[in-house]
Amino acid sequence: MTDFLFGPKQLLRLWLAAGSGLLLAACAAPPSDVISLKDMGSFFVGGREVTISGKPVKEMLLTPGGAPTKIDPNGVYQVEQAYVQYFIPARQRGKLPLLMWHGGGLSGVEYETTPDGRDGWLNIFLKRGWAVYNADAVERGRAGWAMYPDIFRSEPVFVTKNNPFERFRIGAGPGSYNKDMSQARALPGNQFPLEGYDNFTKQLVPRWTTTDEAILAAYIALVDKVCPCVVLAHSQAGQFAYRAAQARPDKVKALVLVEPSAQGDPQQAAILRNTPLVSIYGDYIEQDARWPVIKANNLKFYEVLRAAGGQPEVINLPQRGIRGNGHMMMMDRNNQEVAEVINQWLTAKGFYQ
């Protein structure tokens, strides 16, 4: 038997060698499934002050058993701000922050945990090393809303429980919803987790049709605060992503548009000629009553972009063999697979390492 005796210098060399090996192993390892954060927090951005006058003072009981108090609605109000929650991973692999902008009648919750309890895109991209900024736009969620008709010019729009099922290509059109999901008529092969549909409808919030300018102003204020960045926008937010990029082409470095429902300003299309952008579409579009028109309108805007020197791209998931995705693909059972399609596109454009 041979005895091995190590002095201080030999032990130090062994420790350094082991440490180097561990470091190399860590560098070569894929992103961890555990979220490790360098920082997280939230802030409000944008908004304005509005003065209301000429309203009657009311005496109200605000709490049962409390004392009546006078409520004077006249004065200065803070309105039209957006709420943003951010998460910075300990090891960043995305070269720029990823801003997530939600669709109409929804809030930033759509990117969080899925209705059936799986990771949403916020966690998925965070685990891949992206710094994520998830917003509640003006008049949504924690951003709050303002008085109607004093500040917001129109009344709010509410949707019923059956509306998203029939409109977001989960169910087979009008009349396909049933509160008993076993009796609902989902599209064949649809990837939405039907057992979580009731939970999904709990995140629906009112929206207004006259607040687009305020929403865009708040998003541009967000871009000014945290960018350069990549913007990932869904549905209604597509138009805000296009227009924010047109307003700040030096700060919005790429656009990922998940079934955008509206477009940018065609008169300013040339501004986007050097901005990488892609629109991603799911399944069942050709058989839907609305989505062929919505998609065609975006592709017409693409023609204007190409004529101006741009190179917009389209990813049709069914053509890649990824089937069953409706309008809420960030919640679908294969949301990890769709997220990887986006991550691969961003990698190819040089935004991920």
Distance of alpha carbon 80 from alpha carbon 251, whole angstroms: 22
Tokens 């089937």 -> residue: 323
CB-based burial label for 54 (10 Å; 0-12, 13-18, 19+): exposed
Choose among 58, 76, 243: nearest CA to 151: 76
Mean of per-residue pLDDT scores for the chain:
92
Q: What DSSP string runs through 162-221?
A: HHHHHHTTSBSSTT---SSTTTS-BPTT--S-GGGHHHHHTT---B-SS-HHHHHHHHHH
pLDDT in tens, 215-244: 999 999 999 999 999 999 999 999 999 999
pLDDT digits (tens, 9 = 90+) for 173-219: 999 999 999 999 999 999 999 999 999 999 999 999 999 999 999 99
- pLDDT of 69 higher than 60: yes
Residues contacting residue 311 through CB under 8 Å, at least 6 positions apart: 273, 276
Please compute the mean of the pLDDT values over residues 289-300 and round it to a whole number.
97
Please say whether the beta carbons of 50 and 77 come within 8 A. yes
Q: Which of 283, 243, 275, 227 is nearest to 259 (CA)?
A: 283
**Tally of CB atoms within 10 A around 218:** 29
- Residue 7: pLDDT band (50, 70, 90) is very low
Question: To the nearest whole percent, how much of the chain has pLDDT over 90?
Answer: 89
The answer to pTM > 0.85 is yes
pLDDT confidence of residue 32: 63
What was the pLDDT predicted at 11? 37
How many helices (H) and strands (E) are present in the chain, helices listed first? Answer: 8, 10
CB 38 within 8 A of CB 88: yes
The answer, yes or no, to whether residue 1 has pLDDT greater than 80, is no
Backbone phi and psi for residue 122, each to the nearest 5 degrees, phi listed first: -60, -55
| pLDDT score at 147 | 93
> Helical H runs in the chain?
8-28, 121-127, 162-167, 197-201, 212-226, 237-247, 291-307, 335-348
| Percent of the chain's residues with pLDDT above 70 | 91
pLDDT bin (cut points 50, 70, 90) of residue 29 is very low
Which amino acid does the sequence have at 13? R
Q: Are strands 58-60 and 69-71 parallel, antiparallel or unpaired?
A: antiparallel
pLDDT tens, residue by residue, 108-167: 999 999 999 999 999 999 999 999 999 999 999 999 999 999 999 999 999 999 999 999
CATH tag, 37-56+69-240+320-348:
3.40.50.1820
Beta-carbon contacts of residue 102 (< 8 Å; ≥ 6 apart): 108, 109, 110, 111, 135, 136, 137, 140, 234, 235, 237
d(CA 295, CA 301): 10
| 282 vs 316: CA distance, rounded Å | 6
Which of 242, 187, 211 is CA-nearest to residue 137?
A: 211
Backbone angles phi, psi at 222, to 5 degrees: -65, -45
**Domain locations in the chain as residue ranges:** 37-56+69-240+320-348
